[in-house]
Structure 1
């Protein structure tokens, strides 16, 4: 039996919002999947609707902005005293 690849129904399902991302490895998975097929992580809370790279980038951006604001604040205090 040869593998013919995904069926048209599979392709249509993956093109809709019924998929999410594994919070551990970022692989696209079905919303109702109990476990990531790529890394084996159990998806107790379901698949993430946002790609983990986006979430990581957003967290890092806020951290960098916070550090810059703190440096500017302490620099302005030091300058006046």
Structure 2
């Protein structure tokens, strides 16, 4: 198995024994991420924030997302 720089190898036996569910996530290449990051920086793009919930209101935040009525991102704060 290939590892990222500084990453420790993954022990498949420990992973299996833990009962974890592993799902692949296609995220694109590092080069594409770098291009995206530069574009966001150059154009000063900012996400649309629908609402910020305090951590104590996590269930309300999930209900908000499940309702599907929002336009922007739902953020859960930690302070």
Shorter-chain TM-score: what band?
Answer: under 0.3
Give the TM-score normalised by structure 2.
0.22
Of the two, which has the highest radius of gyration?
Answer: 1
Higher relative contact order (CA 8 A, sep 6+): 2
